[in-house]
């Protein structure tokens, strides 16, 4: 039987530091881990480790022209990796942490593996304590994507057991924070003067809200 990634139960609201440290060790060793977010389970790796990002891209059969979203801890970290206008800052501050992905112009320090051809970057600050604790412990963003194989016949995994069933053979650790909703984030393009919804998901956006 093929090796399966271990499942580690973690308190979803108050993640235990020693469990986060176990995940951190996996990330620092070029690992891929799974964790719950405020939308669905995700997999992620240290976005600065090229080998880990390439491994995750191969697992997802991801086109090089479609980079992963990066998961940041807070607005201060977002400003390191994206050019944030005053209006974009106001919107992000109002909507985060929450189920949104923001498309923004990238700064020069963003790795090529996270850049689109238009030199933009997708950024998340989820309302998910486990995911945020991972980023804070790592000290830099995670490259992140849904915990589902491409063209999978099964639906998006909503708990750790389903993640293990689909991806346990190919990742290093699964953080079990309980069941999640099967609903994607809302993707909001903040590159232009007017915000544009690229995908309507869980997050509700009203321009003048």
Q: What is the CA radius of gyration of the chain?
A: 16
Per the listing, tokens 């309507």 go with: 200
Angle between helix axes 17-28 and 129-138 (nearest 10 degrees) is: 60
Instruction: Say how many C-beta atoms besides its own lie within 10 A of residue 206's C-beta.
Output: 6
State how far the alpha carbon of 18 is from the alpha carbons of 24, 118, 193, in Å: 10, 40, 44
Low-confidence ranges of the chain (pLDDT < 50): 209
Contact between residue 111 and residue 101 where contact means Cβ atoms under 8 Å apart: no
Quote the pLDDT of residue 208. 55
pTM listed for this prediction: 0.93
Q: Where are the domains of the chain?
A: 7-199
Quote the pLDDT of residue 62. 85
Beta strands 196-199 and 69-71: pairing type? unpaired
Quote the pLDDT of residue 115. 83
Which tokens go with 180? 């999640």
Which tokens go with 5? 């990634």
Contact between residue 38 and residue 98 where contact means Cβ atoms under 8 Å apart: yes
Q: Where are the beta strands (DSSP E) in the chain?
A: 7-9, 33-36, 41-46, 69-71, 100-105, 120-124, 142-146, 173-176, 186-189, 196-199
7-199 CATH fold: DHBP synthase (3.90.870)
Specify burial of residue 49 (Cβ count, 10 A radius: 0-12, 13-18, 19+): buried
Quote the pLDDT of residue 153. 67
Quote the pLDDT of residue 152. 63
CA distance 120 to 117: 7
Quote the pLDDT of residue 66. 81
Specify burial of residue 184 (Cβ count, 10 A radius: 0-12, 13-18, 19+): middle
Which tokens go with 144? 């992140």
Per the listing, tokens 């970057």 go with: 121
Contact between residue 14 and residue 129 where contact means Cβ atoms under 8 Å apart: yes
Question: Three-class SS of residue 36?
Answer: strand
Contact between residue 149 and residue 43 where contact means Cβ atoms under 8 Å apart: no
Quote the pLDDT of residue 209. 46
């Amino acid at each position: 039987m093929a090796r399966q990634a271990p499942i580690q139960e973690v308190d979803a609201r108050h993640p235990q530091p020693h469990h986060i440290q176990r995940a951190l060790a996996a990330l620092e060793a070029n690992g891929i881990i799974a964790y719950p977010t405020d939308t669905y389970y995700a997999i992620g790796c240290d976005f600065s480790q090229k080998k880990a990002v390439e491994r995750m891209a191969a697992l997802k059969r991801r086109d090089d022209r479609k980079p992963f979203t990066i998961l940041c801890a807070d607005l201060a970290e977002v400003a390191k990796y994206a050019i944030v206008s005053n209006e974009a800052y106001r919107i992000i501050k109002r909507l985060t942490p929450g189920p949104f992905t923001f498309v923004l112009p990238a700064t020069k320090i963003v790795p090529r593996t996270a850049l689109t051809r238009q030199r933009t970057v997708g950024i998340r600050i989820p309302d998910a304590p486990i995911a945020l604790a991972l980023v804070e412990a790592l000290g830099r963003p995670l490259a992140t994507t849904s915990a589902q194989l491409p063209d999978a016949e099964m639906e998006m995994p909503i708990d750790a057991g389903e993640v293990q069933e689909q991806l346990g053979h190919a990742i290093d650790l699964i953080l079990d924070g309980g069941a999640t909703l099967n609903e994607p984030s809302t993707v909001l393009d903040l590159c232009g003067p007017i915000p544009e919804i690229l995908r309507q998901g869980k997050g509700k956006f009203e321009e003048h809200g």
